[in-house]
Amino acid sequence: MTFGQFLLVAVLAVPALGAVAAAAVPGDRAGRLVGTAAAALTLLAALPLVGGDHGWFGYGPRPAVQPWHRLDAPWVPGLDLRFHLGVDGISWPLVVLTALLTLLCCGYTLWRVPSGGGSGRALVALLLVVEVGILGTFLALDLVLFFLFFEVVLLPMYAIIAGWGGDDRRRAARKFALYTLFGSVLLLVGVYVVVAAAGTADLVTLTGGAGLSRGTQLAAFTLLALAFAVKSPLWPLHSWLPDAHTQAPTVGSVVLAGVLLKMGTYGLIRVAVGVAPEGARWAAPVLGVLAVAAILVGGLVCLAQDELKRLIAYSSVGHMGFVLLGVATLTATGLQAALIGNIAHGVITGLLFFLAGAVKDRTHTGSLDELSGLRETAPRLAGLLGFAAVASLGLPGLAGFWGEAFAVVAALRRGGGLWTTLAVLAALGGALTAAYFLRLLRRVTHGRPSPAVAPLAPGLAGAELTAWAPLVLLALAVGLAPALVLSYASGPVGALLGVVTK
C-alpha cells in the first residue's frame, strides 16, 4: 500500500472510528474532545492528498479521470463491485473543505452544545458519521459505492436536525428526509440503468459514455440530474432547504450548507455529465433556464424574508443557480466557475450560519424586525457579519466573486440568443443578491439598538474567533488568489470536457 492509498483509507477510517469512540467514551466533554481530535486527524490526512504521481498537469485525453491517488480493491467479486477510491483536482478541494468545516463544528461544540434532547458527544459522533458519508461521496470511483456513501448522510443529518434543532425541528427533519429519500430513489434507478447497460460500475470506465446508447444516456441523465437537484438543492426542488436550515442547530446548518449541498453539484459534474454526456448536451438549455430561474427566484424571495437564517438559506438557492449555470454551459470556464463557486459558497455560507447562530444565541430571535443596531452594542460581530455578507454578494477580491462572474462569462461565450439572455438575467440576479444582503445589513447592523440587541456585550468568545477565523482567511485567500482552487481543477476539467464535448 502506497502512502497515498493509506491516506485515502485514513480519511474515511479516522472519522468513522472517531464517531464510535466519541459515543463510547464515558463523559460528555471527553467524548467531544475525542471526536474533535478525530476530525483534526482527518484534516491532517486530507491535506497531503494533493498532487501525487500525476501532479496537476499530467492529464491526457484518455481516460478522463486520472486520480492523483487511487485505491482499487475487490469488494463484491460476484457482482464485479470494487472498493474504488480516488482523488483529483475536482474532488480534493471539496475533501479539504469537508474536513475543515467538520473540525470547526466539532471544536465549536467544546464551547457550546445546542439545547435539545441529546448529549454533546452524540452530536459530535453524528457529525463525524456525516463527514464519512460526504468524504466517501467525493472519493468514490465506483458508482454503487458512490450511491452507498451518498445515502450514509441521510439518517445522521435527520437526527441532528430532529435532536438539537429549533421548536419546529421534527417537521423540518421529516421534510428533509422525505425529499432526500425521493432523490435517493431517482439516484438508485439512475445507477441501475447505467450499470445494467454498461456492465460495469467503474466511474473511470464510464466517464465519456462507455458505449451507452443515446436513449440510455438521456434516461440516465434525467434520473441522475433530478436526484442531484434535490440534494443541491436546485429550483424548484428546494423547498426542504429553508425549513431545515431555520430549525437546524448552528453546526448542523454549517455542515448542511457548507458541504452537504455540494454532494449534489459534485455528483452532477462527476456522475451525470461524465457518465451521460449526450444527455448533458441535450438537457443543457433546460438546465441553463432552470439555473437562471433559481438565481432570480432566490433573490426575489430573499428580498421578502424577515428571518435571518431563512434569508441565508434562500440565498443558497441563488448561489447554487450560478453553479448550475456554469455546469450547463459545458465549457471549461463554466465548469471552473461551478467548482470555485462550490468552494466559495461552502466557506462564506458556513461563516454566515456561524454568525447567524451567534446572533440568535445572544438575542434569542432571528426576526429582522427585532434586530437592529448591532454595530452599536456588538461592533465586532456586526463587522464580521458585514464581511461575510459582502463576500457572499460577490464583492471583487473576495471568494464569492469568481464563481458568479465566471458563470456569466461562460454563458456569454457560449453564444446565441438563449445563452446571452441567460447571462444578462444572471447578472441581474447578481444585483438582486447585492440588494438583499445590503438590506439585511441595514436592518440588522444599523439604527437604534432594539430591545433584543441592546443588552449585548461587545466581545467575542475565543472559541468563536477560533472557529470563524479560518473561514475569514479562506474567503480572502480564494478571492485574492483563485488559482488556489482553479489550478488544481484545470487539468481534470479539460480531460472531462475532452470526452464530454467530442
Place of cell 475569514: 472
Evaluate whether 434 touches 453 at the Cβ level (below 8 Å).
Answer: no
pLDDT at 61: 47
For 65, residues 6+ apart whose C-beta sits below 8 A from its C-beta are 86, 88, 141, 203, 204, 207, 274, 492, 495, 496
Q: Which domain holds residue 476?
A: 277-501
Q: How far apart are CA 235 and CA 294, in angstroms?
A: 5
Q: What is the pLDDT of residues 291-300, one digit of tens each?
A: 999 999 999 9
pLDDT-based confidence at residue 80 (cuts at 50, 70, 90): confident
Cα pseudo-dihedral 345, 351, 357, 362, rounded to 10:
-150
pLDDT at 218: 93
pLDDT over threshold 50, residue 53: no
Tell me which range, 359-363, 388-392, 495-499, is most confidently predicted by mean pLDDT.
388-392
Kindly state whether residue 438 falls inside one of the protein's structural domains: yes
Phi, psi of 59 (to 5 degrees): -105, 130
**Angle 81-223-280 (CA atoms, 0-180°, nearest 5)?**
100
Global pTM reads 0.92
Q: How far apart are CA 228 and CA 262, in angstroms?
A: 9
pLDDT over threshold 70, residue 63: no
Q: What is the pLDDT of residues 371-392, one digit of tens each?
A: 888 888 888 999 999 999 999 9
**89 DSSP assignment:** T
Q: Average the pLDDT over each of 45-54, 209-218, 487-496 and give the range with the smallest value.
A: 45-54
pLDDT at 116: 67
DSSP three-state, residue 86:
strand
Cα separations in angstroms, 448 against 119, 370, 376, 387: 38, 11, 8, 21
Q: How many CA atoms lie within 13 A of 222 on its CB side?
A: 8
pLDDT at 37: 95
Kindly state whether residue 435 falls inside one of the protein's structural domains: yes
Q: What is the pLDDT of residues 279-323, one digit of tens each?
A: 999 999 999 999 999 999 999 999 988 889 889 988 988 999 999
pLDDT at 55: 40
Q: What is the pLDDT of residues 156-199, one digit of tens each?
A: 999 998 888 877 888 888 988 898 899 899 999 999 999 888 88
Cα separations in angstroms, 411 against 39, 204, 241, 283, 500: 39, 28, 27, 15, 18
Kindly state whether residue 53 falls inside one of the protein's structural domains: no
pLDDT over threshold 70, residue 52: no
pLDDT at 294: 92
Q: Average the pLDDT over each of 58-67, 69-78, 343-352, 360-369 and give the range with the smallest value.
A: 58-67
Evaluate whether 4 touches 55 at the Cβ level (below 8 Å).
Answer: no
pLDDT at 1: 76
Question: Does residue 65 or residue 229 have the better pLDDT?
Answer: 229
Average pLDDT of span 29-57: 82
Handedness of CA 295, 298, 302, 303 (dihedral sign): positive
pLDDT at 370: 87
pLDDT at 56: 37
Average pLDDT of span 97-108: 94
Average pLDDT of span 127-138: 95
Q: How many CB atoms lie within 10 A of CB 435?
A: 15
Kindly state whether residue 374 falls inside one of the protein's structural domains: yes
Q: How far apart are CA 155 and CA 402, in angstroms?
A: 34
* Among 282, 188, 161, 290, CA closest to 237: 290
Mean pLDDT over the full length of the chain: 88
Cell numbers placing 200: 460495469
Kindly state whether residue 264 falls inside one of the protein's structural domains: no
pLDDT at 502: 67
Evaluate whether 66 touches 58 at the Cβ level (below 8 Å).
Answer: yes
pLDDT-based confidence at residue 130 (cuts at 50, 70, 90): very high
Percent of the chain's residues with pLDDT above 90: 51
Average pLDDT of span 202-231: 88
For 76, residues 6+ apart whose C-beta sits below 8 A from its C-beta are none
For 202, residues 6+ apart whose C-beta sits below 8 A from its C-beta are 82, 84, 141, 142, 143
Cell numbers placing 317: 438557492
Cis bond upstream, residue 449 (ω within 30): no
Average pLDDT of span 238-264: 87
Kindly state whether residue 455 falls inside one of the protein's structural domains: yes
Evaluate whether 18 touches 39 at the Cβ level (below 8 Å).
Answer: yes
Kindly state whether residue 25 falls inside one of the protein's structural domains: no
pLDDT at 408: 94
Q: How far apart are CA 313 and CA 66, in angstroms?
A: 35
Average pLDDT of span 83-112: 92
**Angle 122-471-321 (CA atoms, 0-180°, nearest 5)?**
90
Q: Average the pLDDT over each of 20-24, 329-333, 385-389, 453-457 and give the range with the smallest value.
A: 453-457
Cell numbers placing 211: 458505449
Q: How far apart are CA 137 and CA 268, in angstroms?
A: 12
Q: How far apart are CA 204 and CA 496, in angstroms?
A: 11
Number of domains in the chain: 1
Kindly state whether residue 234 falls inside one of the protein's structural domains: no
